[in-house]
Amino acid sequence: MPDIHNRHLEAFSEEVQEIMGHVPGWIVRWGITIFFFIFLMIVAGSYFFKYPLVVSTPLVLTTINPPASIICKKSGRIDKWYVSDGDAVNKKMVIALLDNSA
């Protein structure tokens, strides 16, 4: 016990006071220890509480302008295409030429 008492008195000695100006308060003296234990608790918590790297979820993909069905009034084989896949078309635009069976 006397050794601890001597160390406490050494902290308040004139030499220490000259170098430091004043003895730091309790928060400053024990702050590093408290931050270390908080950091240690965070590291230990990160070991026990796992965060998933991949999250699976259902997905529905929609567009602003969905594709429209094309209905032809006549049946037959397509002879020539006038548009390619992915081209934009307008109403009443000729898309394909049907083979004439006559």
* Successive 10-residue mean pLDDT values, the chain, 102 residues: 58 68 70 91 89 87 82 84 88 86 68
Q: What is the value of pTM for the model shown?
A: 0.32
pLDDT for the residue 54: 87
Asked if 82 and 95 count as a contact pair (C-beta separation under 8 A), the reply is yes
42 Cβ partners below 8 Å, 6+ apart?
none
pLDDT for the residue 59: 92
Three-state secondary structure readout of the chain: CHHHHHHHHHHCCHHHHHHHCCCCCHHHHHHHHHHHHHHHHHHHHHHHCCCCCCCCCCCCCCCCCCCCCCCCCCCCCEEEECCCCCCCCCCCCCCEEECCCC
- Cβ-based neighbour number of residue 82 at 10 Å: 11
